[in-house]
Chains A and B, each alone.
Chain A
Amino acid sequence: NAGVTQTPKFQVLKTGQSMTLQCAQDMNHEYMSWYRQDPGMGLRLIHYSVGAGITDQGEVPNGYNVSRSTTEDFPLRLLSAAPSQTSVYFCASSRGHSKNIQYFGAGTRLSVL
C-alpha cells in the first residue's frame, strides 16, 4: 500500500494564481483532513471530511476549498493564492473516527511570491 500520497511535493505560485493540491489514500479510510504547518505554529486544521460527499471547515479555512467526491481523494484548492498561504501542507487520513490513528502524507511545500 502507498498510504497517503500528496502531489506535488513543491510548488511556487505567484500572488493571485490558483492551484489544487492533490491527496489520495489507498487504505479505504473514511476520514481525511488537511493541515498547514508554519514555523512556531504547529499544525492548524484547514478542512476535513468524514466521508465521501461530506466536508467541513477547520480552524483556518479562508482562501481554501475542498470537495470529496470519492473515498480515496481529497483535493485542496487555493482559489487566489496569497503570500500568507506560503506553508507546508499535510493531508491525513484515518479509519472511521477522528480519534483513531492518523496517517500523514509527506507534505506539499508551497511558496507564494
Chain B
Amino acid sequence: SQQGEEDPQALSIQEGENATMNCSYKTSINNLQWYRQNSGRGLVHLILIRSNEREKHSGRLRVTLDTSKKSSSLLITASRAADTASYFCATPNSGNTPLVFGKGTRLSVIA
C-alpha cells in the first residue's frame, strides 16, 4: 500500500514563527488529507486537497499539492503554543480501503 511520509519527523519553533511540514507519497491519488493529533487524543481532520487543486487555505493553514513530484506541504503561519501536536498526512489506498497515514511530524511550539 502507498504511504505518505512526513518530513521532518520532529520540528521545534518559537511562537510566532511559521512551521512547514512536508509529505511525500508513492502513487497517484485523487486527494490528500492532513490531520492533527494532540497528545493522548484522537486525530482531527484539518484539510483535504484534491488532485486538481494546487493550493488550499484554512485560517492559518496553507496546504500545497504537487502531483508531479508526489508531494504536499502544510504551512502553519504565526504559530501558537496551542499548535503543539503531531501532524499526519493521509492518502487514499486502492479501491475502497481506508486511508493510509504517515508516521507524522511532531511539532513543538515554544512560548
Q: Using a CB–CB distance below 8 Å, which chain A residues touch chain B?
A: 4, 31, 33, 35, 40-43, 45, 48, 50, 56, 58-59, 90, 92, 97-99, 101-107
Contacts and interface: CB of A to CB of B under 8 A. Distances in A.
B1 A90 contact: no
Contact of B88 (A31, A33, A43, A48): A43
Contacts of A35: 98, 101
Contacts of B100: 45
A39 to B, nearest CB: 10
Contact size range, B:
20 to 34
Contact of A102 (B30, B45, B93, B96): B45
B97 A48 contact: yes
> At the interface, is chain B mostly helix, strand, loop or mixed?
loop
Interface in B9-45: 30-31, 33, 35, 40-45
Interface of B: 1, 3, 30-31, 33, 35, 40-45, 48, 88, 90, 92-93, 96-104
Given A41-B103, A42-B88, A42-B103, A98 B45 contact: no
B41 A106 contact: yes
Nearest to B98: A33
B96 A104 contact: no
Contacts of A48: 97-98
Nearest to A41: B103
B48 to A, nearest CB: 6
A105 B42 CA distance: 6
B98 A97 contact: no
A40 B106 CA distance: 11
Contacts of A4: 42
B45 A59 contact: no
Given A42-B88, A43-B88, A59-B1, A97 B96 contact: yes
Contacts of B42: 4, 90, 104-107
